Amino acid sequence: MGPSGPIKTMKHNNCYIYPKSIRETIDGKRHYDTGKEKLPSVTTILSATQEQSKTDSLQAWRDRVGEESATRIVDSAAARGTAMHKILERYVDESGYLDLTNVGKEAHNMAIRIIEQGLCNITEYYGLECTLHYPGLYGGATDMVALHKDKMAIIDFKQTNKPKKREWIEDYCLQLAAYAMAHNYMHKTSIQKGVIMMCSKDNYYQEFIIEGEEFKKYQHKWLKKVSDYYEQRENLK
């Protein structure tokens, strides 16, 4: 069964207008140009405020596997993730997409898993690759804004080399909180739910849902990250 196989039950509701993504690299870091200001991306802020223990752990891994192997693994994962995202987006908007490369075939199988086990719970979507920003603070793009089990949510598709434990994906949860806050500001919504639809290269599907008090906790953590980021910038002046 391919991405065009399962019968979609979701419909497109275009009640929200999402501006086209205008990404720009400044000093090697991703920013979003809103036309009025250039804002750091959500991932730029997360990278700049990452705990030292995470930075050390990543460097230890690179040292262990070797720089060349580490780069190859990271590049391969990025290519697979990009292909998987494109397949999922083209499935949802029904435009069709075919990638016959080895990476494309692998991504295709992963996308099918997300379609069958994740997107089946989406009844309505508002946009794909939605560009969002919070004036004066940050910008970014979420994969999907949709109704998930009858509740409006920020949806992010993730690929992984191996299955993840919930405690390993804090940055992903912070991304969801950031995008929800920006969407709520821009479009006067009240999104308090985020869904991560993740598939490993071995086609193991995982779904992580954050809502309620947990969602609020990540919103507070995100705001602290934003505050720390701008404090860092002030100290560098």
Q: What proportion of the chain, given as a percentage, has pLDDT over 90?
A: 63
Per-residue pLDDT at 1 exceeds 60: no
Per residue in 192-217, pLDDT tens?
999 999 999 899 999 999 999 999 99
CA 155 vs. chain centroid, Å, equals 8
**Domain-located, residue 137:** yes
**Domain-located, residue 37:** yes
**Domain-located, residue 188:** yes
**Domain-located, residue 57:** yes
Q: State the residue for tokens 């919070």.
A: 134
**Domain-located, residue 225:** yes
- CATH code where residue 67 lies: 3.90.320
**Domain-located, residue 131:** yes
Per-residue pLDDT at 144 exceeds 60: yes
- Structure confidence at residue 155 (pLDDT): 98
Number of separate domains in the chain: 1
**Domain-located, residue 110:** yes
Domain membership of residue 122 as a residue range: 11-236
